Structure 1
Amino acid sequence: MTAPATSPSPVPLPSPLELPAEDRALSPHTGYTRAHWEATADGLLRAAWQWATPGSALLDLPGRPSGSGVRSDGLEGYARTFLAAGFRVAGAGGEDPHGWLERYADGLAAGTRTPGRDDTESWPLILDHHVQGQPMVESASVAIGLRLTAPWLWDRLDAGVQDRAEEWLRGALRHTPAPNNWYLFPYSVAGFLESVGRGDAETARARERALELLEGWYRGQGWYADGDSRAFDHYNGWALHLYPVLDAHLAGDTEQSAHYGARLREHLESFSLLFGADGAPIHFGRSLSYRFAAGAAVALGAVTGHTPLTAGVSRRLVNGSLRYFLDRGATGTDGLLSLGWHGPHDATLQHYSGPASPYWASKAFVALLAPEDDPLWTAPEEPAPSEGPDRVLALSAPGLLVHSTRADGIVRLHNHGSDHIRPHEGEAEVADDPHYSRHAYSTRTGPTAAANVADNHLAVELAGRLSERRRIHPLGAGGGDGWGWAASWHRPVFGTGAPMVPGLRVESVTVVRGGHELRAHRVVGAPAGALVRQTGWATGPDEDVRSALHALHGWESADEVRAPRGTAFTRWAVVPRLTGEAGGTTLLVALASLTGDTDAAPLSAAVSEVSVAGATAEVRWSDDGSTTRIAFDPLTVDHASAAG
């Protein structure tokens, strides 16, 4: 019997955060307590405020500017740290030993005095998302910070400052958000204004519009699409669930709380599995530099009671996520959250990422709204879902397949339903996005950078041009006891030359069982002379995991490809690869694995027999003689025991 995995224990990197002593009796997995959260919030605020303008309106943190410009970046520094301060002070019942709120009050007064002016303190105006939109994002953080701290900040402001702040905030209600979670920013602004007696028809319209869209974006199983597209990622937790559930909680609206809280509860049933035994969230989707904000949904569920998790499990997940990043140098020696994952990492970023962007991690401090005597802080930590028995979870609504293995504590996500292409966009019009286009992601590996070989990818090669996977069309997901599957199809897109080949498509099925991933693809309509290349997990010398890829049918050669730019987890990586020929219709089957279990058997020993007839493949497993059958026409996936 394999012993349960223990969380890897890297030597913590130097950090200026002054953290209290660990409590291993109450928190046997992490040692963290509520006091660690307060100390972390104070440390992050202390470091960031060193870069404030004289009037406290902007926090101009050092680093590469975002596409929105340095003034917007300075507002971002003010607003996102205000979230941390708001949760910190509200969670302490108004106690503010470091005087954070006085600074934010001064900054509010200075920033709204002459908004739009090019001077040292003035905040940028809020305009449409495609003109000067980033301030709309930040307006929500300002509004929530003010709402959380209203008795100690807003209520004590001069009436003139209140009026100026309202006028600036109303810019979010009068301009067009981006067609996704952005509609929840004016929703949050309107919620604050209504909470302080400044609501009207304009605020009501903003809230009604956001909730109307949110209903259309809900796809079931606790998952929202981020807009009218099929983007399913961490924005579910730190935006699409967070804003409406927090709003209802702060307003005491039991009807709204019950409606949106039920969805949060269902979301956490699957999302709670997306944290590894080391505390890492799944490395998937955009804006990953927000890091431990991934725990915000777990914390909010515990605070509001809308969670299927025990307090001990919730505590384990949020503590583990926070400690994971602090131990791996997320703050650096200057105490500032860097743009990256562990430390700085350019390939993790988007064009909108600026020096203060990582401070959306402040959303995790919603945990502090649970008082000291709340079970979230008094219940001993319990093992995370990934630390229990091996799990397989098929999510048909978002088209995701998740599996975890106890032996190494790794969680893997196989993507057959989430992409980053809006409905009106042509597939050849957008660039490949490694954070969505790959077939698989994990808590211990990251995708390779766009300039390197793509990991976990099936590419058709024509005249030296490799195809990319853009729009993903889900075909279904399901499974049974100890196994699961998900399937999708896509049209290969070529970055140079003709973007598409008429009639060419790739149908893909992933079946997981234990630590094994059966990957089957049917390539339809391939021109003569085409090649097909399948890659596996990218791993490197900075990791204690192993990647393997084993041909079962249709592949002719195997090698490894170097990825010198590495991933967010390793400076340099190697990717296993299989190559075969394709012409007309071709069926290809391979077995892949990513493991940290040093006792794992060779991948070549996992399967005893493979048979392929037409569009159907059957694989017999060596350990118990069970059989997995994949048929593409029509699509069916079955798994039968040796006796059945």
Structure 2
Amino acid sequence: MPPLLGFSDNPFQSRDDVLQAATSLLKPLTPYKSPCGARVKLSTATGTGFDEISAQLEGFARPLWVVADLLAAQPTTSATASGDLDLYSWIRGLDAGVDPRSDTFWGHTGEHDQRMVEMEPIAYALLTAPTAFLSALPNTPGSDSQVDQQKRDRIVAWLRLINEKTVPPSNWRWFRILVNLALVKSCGVPYDEVKPFIDVDFKMLDSFYIGDGWSSDGLWSADKRQADYYSGSFAIQYSQLAYVRFARDLDPERVERYRSEAGEFAATFWRYFDVNGAAIPFGRSLTYRFAFAAFWSAAVVAEIPLPAPLNDMGVVKGLLLRHLRWWAKQSDIFNTDGTLNIGYTYPNMFMSEDYNSPQSVYWCLKTFSVLRLSEDHPFWQCEELPHPLSTNTLSHELGNQNDTSLSPFGVVNPAAQITCSLPEHHFLLSAGQSTQKPHRAREAKYSKLAYSSAFAFSVPVGPLLSQMAPDSTLSVSNDGGDTWKARWEPESARIKSVQLTLEGQKDSGPKTTTVPVLISAWRPWKSTDFKIETILIPPLERWPGWHVRVHVLTWKAQYSDSLFQLVDAGFAISSEGVTGVVLPTLTPELRDLLSSEDEKATDAAQEGIWEGDYNCLVLSDAGASGIADLSAGAQKRPPIDPVFGGRECRSDLLRPDSNTNLVAQRSRIPSLHHRFQVQGNSSEAWLITGIFAVSSSSGLDNASIRELWRDKPRLDVEEYTNIL
């Protein structure tokens, strides 16, 4: 796909740069607007689970996230900066869309209606630039500085419909709150008329709060455990910060609480961003792309005091601008006409949701609300500072940190995740999220064991193992591999701080270290008592590039002589080399030759795939991804041990279908394939897996990466029995 001039070539250094990027994203929409501006229908002919009129309303409403701020900042926005972009088409479009007499009327809102979603950016526009959206247009008879009462009445009548319908118990409750806030603050509706609806919605939203500034997307319960980007940039935190901006006089106590919660949320959220600006993809609606960083923009505009290491505005500026620079390098996110496509770093319908229309993707424009600030604002004037963890001098040991805000491990208790920000690889370990809502690829989006900013996760496209693309997760079969179940609906997730004994390096003796670990359980078949409990151990200073999984399998005696298969998989990685060709398979002899000191081969020649009996490694242009069975090398054998008697283990480099991975169109997945026969009355087995990953952004050459790969972790299994 061609790059988009103004975005793909943007240095993202100044306000003018960010303004140019925003306008370059808006301009390609112009040919697809209805004559009055009320609807936008892109040329991509894909549908959604809701009606086509709502999809075209999306095309109108979602650009308002930045259009409103541009109109509000018009005195500081030069005409040349906006070029030939017609901002007033959105003003005309609002008037036509709410007018039942118009042939582009948006229709009346029904129960659980997509129109409710699009009412939120309209409400944001009315709150941000009320004069622009409610006054008579320029060159219209009468005073253009006065509110056009007929226009206002039509807008009020259409927005009020949301109070007559059922709104789902999720982040959607914020849509109704901001609509009612706009009715009061901008449209003159008495507060007492809408306060009962606001109170009901706040009671619901308060029940979503799970601590440390985080909310879940709905009540946290057995059938819905979601704390993802909807809890932050995509919806809840962003909406709370909009409320902070516009409801200070109406609700000062709640506003102050939201200011405090935003600071708490930021204290862990910044760790989801790598030093190069890439965010860790996790959860649904990832086609919203750089909406990941919308929280930073909203926090600056709402003047939120942030804790260390974010208490210098230059740090926040860096988090926002580096993220936009990372996306500027992804030119395949654009269609040939310059519009954004559905996908992540390239067009991909497999990872989309049923509610993604071609216009949905413009939710990403939330990130540009910082354009509300004038050029002389401290945010634009301050120096951009690097990522707080951009140096390599930080200790890997959480327990020895004087300042835990700069530990490489971020413990996110509400989300049941541990972020790992290390020079070799930036990723998070995850244990306890899932939802029974029928989101496409929900198992992949919420219940994998790890998610990486360098090696994005994959989504399934069919029932076969290669079509499931089960990276960074467990898959099991009890029918000879005819059917597989991927890890889903984990239970009993918890984070625990533990002390581990590490093997000494070279002449040094054993040492101990304290790290956070994640523990969770999974029952693949609810009709049986087969259970897999997993301990996730983050990378340790002794073994850079590695993290460890310990799986404890338990079952009842009635499963004697049953055959189970289990696949434990590492990170999916591009299967292409730096020259774009498919990676070669390396023989053990060639691998040894390439790792010798006198080898003169280039890095490109050293790329490839290597498979041993119990481990496998991929070296590609993206870095390295590997997996190793550590069970046999454990310092002490597990206490109950049918696995070592009846287990078969082999390494397997899965070749998933193309376009299953969010970033790499062609990928390979290092995995271990276990087959074991349950013998006698034994009821427990242990598996220990080492997951190896080094990103290309680490700066390590292939020789250094292979040296890390050869030094595999050796851990004391007996200590894990104490953990559980």
Normalising by structure 1, report the TM-score.
Answer: 0.85
Match for 2:6 among 17, 28, 31?
A: 17
The residue number in structure 2 matching 1:3 is: none
In the alignment, which residue of structure 1 is the partner of 2:457?
Answer: 447
Structure 1 partner of 2:515: 483
> What is the CA distance between 1:433 and its match in structure 2?
3.0
Equivalent in the alignment of 2:591: none
- Measure the CA separation in 2 of the matches of 1:419 and 1:92: 44
Matched residues in 1 for 2:493 and 2:282: separation? 21
The structure 2 residue matched to 1:109, chosen from 95, 101, 114, is: 95
User: Matched residues in 2 for 1:406 and 1:372: separation?
Assistant: 35
Contact 2:692 2:709 in 1 (8 A): no
Deviations 1:208-248 (A, max 9, x none): 12221222111112211100131011111221111122122
- Does structure 2 conserve the Cα–Cα contact (< 8 Å) formed by 1:293 and 1:362? yes
- Specify the code of the residue in structure 2 equivalent to 1:504: F
Matched, 1:172 2:153: no
Do the aligned residues in 2 keep the contact of 1:386 with 1:404 (CA within 8 Å)? yes
* Other-structure match for 1:206: 197
Specify which of 498, 505, 521 is matched with residue 551 of structure 2.
521
CA positional deviation for 1:193: 0.6
Instruction: Report how many residues are paired.
Output: 581
* Post-superposition CA distance 1:266-310 (Å, at most 9, x none): 111111011122211111110001111111111222222322312
Quote the Cα distance in structure 2 between the aligned partners of 1:508 and 1:18. Answer: 43
Q: Which has the larger radius of gyration?
A: 2
- 1:518-543 per-residue CA deviation (whole Å, 9 max, x = no partner) reads 10111222732112221111111355
Correspondence for 2:429: 414
After superposition, residues 195-234 of structure 1 pair within 5 angstroms as 195-196=185-186, 197-228=188-219, 229-234=224-229
Determine if contact 1:418/1:436 at 8 Å carries over to the other structure.
Answer: yes
Task: Provide closer, same or farther for how the CA distance between residues 608 and 435 of structure 1 changes in structure 2, counting only shifts above 3 A.
Answer: closer
CA offsets 1:337-395 (integer angstroms, 9 cap, x no match): 21111231212210100011110001111222333222321121111134244611122
> 1:186-218, CA deviations, whole angstroms, 9 ceiling, x for partnerless residues?
011011011022134452122212221222111
| 1:120 Cα deviation from its structure 2 partner | 4.4
Paired with 1:18 and 1:588, the residues of 2 have a C-alpha distance of 48
Q: Cα distance, 1:48 vs. partner?
A: 1.1
Q: Mapping of 1:504-583 within 5 angstroms?
A: 504-514=530-540, 515-525=545-555, 527=559, 528-542=562-576, 543-553=621-631, 556-565=649-658, 566-580=660-674, 581=676, 583=678
Quick one: distance in 2 between partners of 1:393 and 1:19? Answer: 32
- Paired-residue identity, %: 24
Matches for 1:199-598 after TM superposition, within 5 Å = 199-228=190-219, 229-237=224-232, 238-253=234-249, 254-306=252-304, 307-308=306-307, 309=310, 310-329=312-331, 330-388=333-391, 389=394, 391-407=408-424, 410-421=425-436, 432-451=442-461, 452=467, 453-463=469-479, 464=481, 465-479=483-497, 483-493=515-525, 500-514=526-540, 515-525=545-555, 527=559, 528-542=562-576, 543-553=621-631, 556-565=649-658, 566-580=660-674, 581=676, 583=678, 584-596=683-695, 597-598=700-701
Distance in 2 between residues matched to 1:74 and 1:315, nearest whole Å: 34
Q: For the structure 1 residues 241 and 431, does the alpha-carbon distance in structure 2 shift closer, same or farther, using more than 3 Å as the test?
A: closer
Q: Is the 8 A contact 1:517 1:592 kept in 2?
A: yes
Equivalent position SS for 2:17: helix
The answer (yes or no) to whether the contact 1:296–1:364 under 8 Å persists in 2 is yes
Contact 2:298 2:370 in 1 (8 A): yes
Paired AA for residue 329 in structure 2:
D
In 2, distance between residues paired with 1:19 and 1:374? Answer: 26
Moved more, 192-201 or 263-272: 192-201
Q: Check the 8 A contact 2:630/2:713 in 1, yes or no.
A: no
What is the Cα deviation at residue 158 of structure 1? 2.3
SS at match of 1:513: coil
Kindly provide the CA deviation profile for residues 55-92 of structure 1, in whole angstroms up to 9, marking residues without a partner as x.
21101122212221321111001000122101222244
Provide the secondary structure at the position in 2 that maps to 1:57. coil
Distance 1:504 1:34 in 2: 57
Residue 71 (structure 2) pairs with residue 89 (structure 1): yes
- After superposition, the CA RMSD in angstroms is 2.5
Counterpart CA distance in 1 for 2:128 and 2:361 is: 21
Cα offset for 1:41? 1.6
Unaligned runs of 5+ in 2: 137-146, 397-407, 462-466, 499-512, 577-620, 632-642
TM-superposed CA distance for 1:460, in Å, is 2.2
**Structure 1 residue aligned with 2:25, among 44, 48, 53?**
44
1:600 matched to 2:630: no
> What are the ranges of 5 or more consecutive residues in structure 1 without an aligned counterpart?
1-11, 23-30, 494-499, 612-616, 619-628, 637-644
Letter of the structure 1 residue corresponding to residue 215 of structure 2: Y
Partner residue, 1:125: 108
Tell me how far apart the structure 1 counterparts of residues 170 and 90 of structure 2 sit (CA, whole Å): 29
Question: Cα gap change, 1:33/1:416 in structure 2, threshold over 3 Å: closer, same or farther?
Answer: same
Shift of 1:46: 1.4
Counterparts of 1:272 and 1:18 in 2: how far apart (Å)? 24
Residue 669 of structure 2 aligns with an amino acid whose one-letter code is V
CA 1:608/1:257 → structure 2, altered by over 3 Å: closer, same or farther? Answer: closer
The residue that corresponds to 1:72 in the other structure is 54
| Aligned equivalent of 1:134 | 114
